[in-house]
Chains A and B, each alone.
Chain A
Amino acid sequence: EAGVAQSPRYKIIEKRQSVAFWCNPISGHATLYWYQQILGQGPKLLIQFQNNGVVDDSQLPKDRFSAERLKGVDSTLKIQPAKLEDSAVYLCASSLAGGKNIQYFGAGTRLSVL
């Protein structure tokens, strides 16, 4: 079974630039999550999708972050414009809807904002 796919693995940008991350969840997983993990901290949920609808985006900085999952499968997370404090690993995870909410994580995208 293929895992959660993310790209790119690494991204270096300058502040005020834009960046986008892509995630393809495990086939059949209706729920998709985007997390931000700052070095030395635990993952922090940014947004959760159920199919193509947003379940929770209460911790998403909406003035600069946006995410979509138009067809209920893969998803894109965008930052525009980036700030220095956005440097982190962005993790995508997926889980079965209505299951034990065990989450399967992708390898993440390591973002460095200079």
Chain B
Amino acid sequence: GQQVMQIPQYQHVQEGEDFTTYCNSSTTLSNIQWYKQRPGGHPVFLIQLVKSGEVKKQKRLTFQFGEAKKNSSLHITATQTTDVGTYFCAGPWAAGNKLTFGGGTRVLVKP
């Protein structure tokens, strides 16, 4: 079956620094979604990428979809304490809008 893997599993970042987290799928994806889950919270949709090589920005967050549509990345610039949480990528599989979630990257910010 489809597998979605994320690295790193944990990311300790100094406040103000940049970092990137990566998502890799075992199969080609029609689209990829990113969600953020704050500690004790539930996943909240951030963005969806559809086109090969697509890049989208949300303030300090930059999302990219790979040319082969099998990988994606999330880059955060000037990390803030509000960025703390787990970032999940998710890709659809089969029909019916089912999503396979990656294991997530847990981001901790050191002030």
Contact = CB atoms under 8 A, between A and B. Distances in A.
Contacts of B41: 107
Interface stretch (A16-24, A69-77, A96-104): A96-104
Interface core residue of B43, B48, B97, B101 (most chain A CB under 10 Å)? B97
Given A42-B88, A42-B103, A102 B33 contact: yes
Interface string A12-51: 0000000000000000000100000000011111001010
Contact of A45 (B44, B48, B98): B98
Given A91-B42, A105-B42, A100 B96 contact: no
Interface of A: 31, 41-45, 48, 50, 55-56, 91, 93, 95, 100-108
30 contacts: A31-B96, A41-B103, A42-B90, A42-B101, A42-B103, A42-B104, A43-B43, A44-B101, A45-B98, A45-B99, A45-B100, A48-B98, A50-B96, A55-B96, A55-B98, A91-B42, A91-B43, A93-B43, A95-B97, A100-B31, A100-B48, A101-B92, A101-B97, A102-B33, A103-B43, A103-B45, A105-B43, A105-B44, A106-B42, A108-B42
